[in-house]
Amino acid sequence: MNSRKWVQLFFSTLFVGGISTGIVGFAVKWNEYAHLFTSFEIKEILSVLVWLIGVGFIFSVISQMGFFAYLTIHRFGLGIFRSASLWNAVQIVLIAFVLFDLVYFRYQLFAKEGESIVSYVLVALFIFLVGLIVAYVKMRETNKEAFVPALFFMVVVTVIEWFPVLRINEENWLYLMLFPLLICNAYQLLTLHRLLRK
């Protein structure tokens, strides 16, 4: 990985984060922005779009910090446990732990009286399913040893990156940040090996 490839990955991920947040932002806050489209307020639409893209750049940078932090942690994990299979087992336990905490603690902290736990489970399940799909693609394009690390990154690291809005628990912000993070994380994971092959 040379500096030219790193810069290419950085700016392409920045672009992906900005565009995905722009699209997701209008979808998530459609009730708030719908009147801008019906009344053709182009200046307002563009100003909101620029703001969303700027927010997306921030999400992208958070995603990239998480990605490079994980690459470092993965190397440390392999060195400490001296066995890929043992390190994979540790990562699987951590994935289960993080998903359980994502459901249990969010439900304990934010659920209203009588509210079902189902919506909290569905969010965790969605992240896990996206992680499975991305990890499977990564495994198909590289090797079978890549599956667990890719799943760990897509689940555990995404949840850690998502933590600032998890604390607030404002629904629009939860989804506004989650989807771009998943998209940026998946993009980096599936782009890295292609860049290294060039």
Indicate yes or no: pTM above 0.85. Answer: yes
Helix (H) or strand (E) holding 21: helix 3-28
Tokens found for residue 35? 């009147």
- Residues near 134 by Cβ (< 8 Å), separated by ≥ 6? 150, 151, 154, 185, 186, 189, 190
pLDDT in tens, the chain (198 residues): 677 888 899 999 999 999 999 999 988 887 777 777 777 778 888 898 999 999 999 999 999 999 999 999 999 998 888 888 899 999 999 999 999 999 999 999 888 888 899 999 999 999 999 999 999 999 999 999 999 999 999 999 999 999 989 888 888 889 999 999 999 999 999 998 888 876
Coil, strand or helix at 57: helix
Residue 75: CB atoms within 10 Å:
10
When divided into structural domains, the chain yields a total of 1
| 3-class DSSP string for 85-106 | HHHHHHHHHHHHHHHHHHHHHH
Residue 9's nearest CA partner among 76, 71, 53 is 71
Structural domain range at position 109: 3-197
Q: Is the dihedral of CA 176, 164, 87, 99 positive or negative?
A: negative
